[in-house]
Amino acid sequence: MFKKIIAILAILLIPLFVSGVVFAQQLDYSQNKTVVLPKDETVDKDYFAAGETVTISGTVNGDAYIAGGTVNIEGEVNGDLFVAGGVVNLGGTITNDARVAGGEVTISSQINGNLTALGGNVNVTDAANIVGSLVSGSGNLSIFAPIGKGITVGAGNVTLGDTVGGDITAGVGQLTLTPNAQVSGDLTYWSEQDAQVQAGAQITGQTTHNIPPKPAKDQPKKIFAGVSIAFSIISFISALIFGLILIKFLPFFASETKKIIDQKLFTSMGVGFLAIVLTPIAFIILLLPVVTIPFALILLVIFLITLYLSKIFVAMWTGHRISKIFGWKTGNYLAFLLGLVVIYIITLIPIIGWLIWLLVVLTGTGGVVLTKFNFYKQLRSKNLL
């Protein structure tokens, strides 16, 4: 356990985790954008991998932390699995829990623990088997595999086509139970529409349909809108000031981070997700022994600073991309200002604004971590560390 804590701390403070060298545990990173753990290979430690495409066909006798544009899990993970990617195909066998986030997520695994799945579209196929519970936040969720325990879900559309060994709690736009659906517990859902329970579907417990409360249309709504706009203006001005200062005094770091995001967009997003997941865990663990409390506080400060600065690098990248499309010649300052304006305008859009902001934070955080790792490698190669 202590060894794992040290690994996580090193990941997020130095950080070494993001790309792929071996320190304390097994970690892979490929400059060729592809990482493969062959079918005949076994890793007897925790395993970390990041790349444009990551394929795990072998065996990991520990926890696996994977990030990439496309992630394929085909082998065996005898521990917990953490995955983030644009497209995630989860197969093979997971001994413990699986936590997955991606744009398109397809799950065909034997998962002996619990499954947490976040994504635009999440499909649990009939080849899968989830022994524990399922928690999901998604645009569309389809479940055609048995779920051993309960389901907790927030989604636009949910289709259930197999057995559930416990209760279902859902906030949905539309809930559909096919003829093969069997729910051993209660069904409690919040939706403006009645669930479509097709002939043959069975619900052993009680079914409770709750209508979501309609938002207020008077003064409280106006006050909230005013506060939100004021906060956005203050946040924009602060980000602009910090961004200009950062570009002025750390131009090389800013440019390198922007370049990393441009070259490894999905990888940056996945690494950012894993960093955000692992940091709170490491912080809590480091608070337990008295002697490591200072390390916990240092870790927290660095983490919060990285989160705040993440949008600056994404704004630079966005501005340069827009300039390239229209053939404009812009330096880092003007590109940053352009990108920041675009990001703040987009994030004001209802519903999707929060999702865009989340992607900005994930991408910027991952880009910073990858850049720091590259600097670390350069210093190591020159024997300066």
- Interacting residues of 142 by C-beta distance below 8 A, sequence separation 6+: 122, 123, 124, 158, 159, 161
- Interacting residues of 335 by C-beta distance below 8 A, sequence separation 6+: 316, 319, 320, 323
Token pair recorded at residue 186: 């209660």
Task: Supply angle C-alpha 260, 265, 267, rounded to 5.
Answer: 90
Q: What is the pLDDT of residue 381?
A: 75
Q: Where are the alpha helices (DSSP H) in the chain?
A: 2-13, 219-249, 251-263, 265-287, 293-326, 332-347, 352-381
Q: What is 155-224 written as a DSSP string? A: EEEEEE-SEESS-EEEEEEEEEE-TT-EESS-EEEE-SS--EE-TT-EE-S-EEEEPPPPPP-SHHHHHH
Q: What is the pLDDT of residue 287?
A: 83
Residue with tokens 């934070």: 361
Length of the chain equals 385
Interatomic CA distance for residues 211 and 74, integer angstroms? 41
Cα of 71 vs its chain's centroid, Å: 13
**Backbone dihedral angles phi then psi of residue 112, each to the nearest 5 degrees:** -85, -5
Interatomic CA distance for residues 7 and 5, integer angstroms? 5
Contacts made by residues 294-299, CB under 8 angstroms, sequence distance 24+: 295/9, 298/13, 299/9, 299/12, 299/13
Q: What is the pLDDT of residue 100?
A: 87
Q: What is the pLDDT of residue 319?
A: 87
Interatomic CA distance for residues 267 and 262, integer angstroms? 10
pLDDT tens by residue, the chain, 385 residues: 444 444 444 433 433 333 333 333 444 444 446 889 999 999 998 888 877 788 999 999 999 988 777 889 999 999 999 887 778 899 999 999 999 877 789 999 999 999 998 878 899 999 999 999 999 888 899 999 999 999 999 888 999 999 999 999 998 999 999 999 999 999 999 998 999 999 999 999 999 999 877 655 555 555 555 556 666 677 777 788 778 878 877 888 888 888 899 888 888 888 888 888 888 888 888 888 877 888 888 888 888 888 888 999 999 998 888 888 888 777 777 888 888 888 888 877 766 778 888 889 999 998 988 888 887 777 777 776 6
Q: CB of 373 within 8 A of CB of 16?
A: yes
Interatomic CA distance for residues 166 and 169, integer angstroms? 10
DSSP for residue 25: B
Cα of 156 vs its chain's centroid, Å: 19
Q: CB of 223 within 8 A of CB of 204?
A: no
Give me the amino acid identity at 102: G
Token pair recorded at residue 199: 């002939």
Residue with tokens 């966005």: 318
Q: What is the pLDDT of residue 111?
A: 97
Interatomic CA distance for residues 8 and 36, integer angstroms? 23
Q: What is the pLDDT of residue 223?
A: 55
